[in-house]
Amino acid sequence: MWEQGGASALRRRAATGRPPKLDDTQVETVRAALEQGALAHGFEVDLWTLERVGAVVTRATGAVLSRASVWRLLTGRLGWSLQRPERRAVERNESEIARWIAHEWPRIKEGP
C-alpha cells in the first residue's frame, strides 16, 4: 500500500458497515411525526413504546425496524432518552400531604 499510495494510503479509513435504513430526511420526518404525540397517530394513550414508534416509522417511511433498531434511532440519531411516567394516584391531594408533613409528621417523629 505504501508503494502504491504513499503515506495517505496508510491512514485510517472510516469504519464500513451496513448503511442505515433511514436517511437524514427520513429521520426528520420520523421526528416530526413523533413530536405530534401518540394520540395523533391513533393510540389510546399518549405514551410511546418501541412497538408504537416502530409502527409510526413504518407508516412514515415504509422502513421496517426491529426493536433494537428503533431504540438506536431514538437514543442515537434523535438524541432522545428513556422517560417513564410518574405513578401517582389521581386522588392525590397535594395540600393535604403538605399539611401532614408540616403538622403530623413532627408530632409522630417526637414519639410519646
Residue 57 has pLDDT above 80, yes or no: yes
Residue 111 has pLDDT above 80, yes or no: no
At residue 12, the pLDDT reads 77
By CB atoms closer than 10 A (0-12, 13-18, 19+), residue 12 is exposed
Please give the CATH number for the structural domain made up of 15-84.
1.10.10
Asked whether 46 and 37 are in contact (CB, 8 A), the reply is: yes
- Percentage of the chain modeled with pLDDT above 90: 62
Q: What is the pLDDT of residues 69-95, one digit of tens each?
A: 999 999 999 999 988 878 888 888 999
Name the more confident of 46 and 112.
Answer: 46
Asked whether 35 and 52 are in contact (CB, 8 A), the reply is: no
By CB atoms closer than 10 A (0-12, 13-18, 19+), residue 34 is buried
Per-domain residue ranges for the chain? 15-84
The three grid cell numbers given for residue 48, joined into one nine-digit string: 410511546
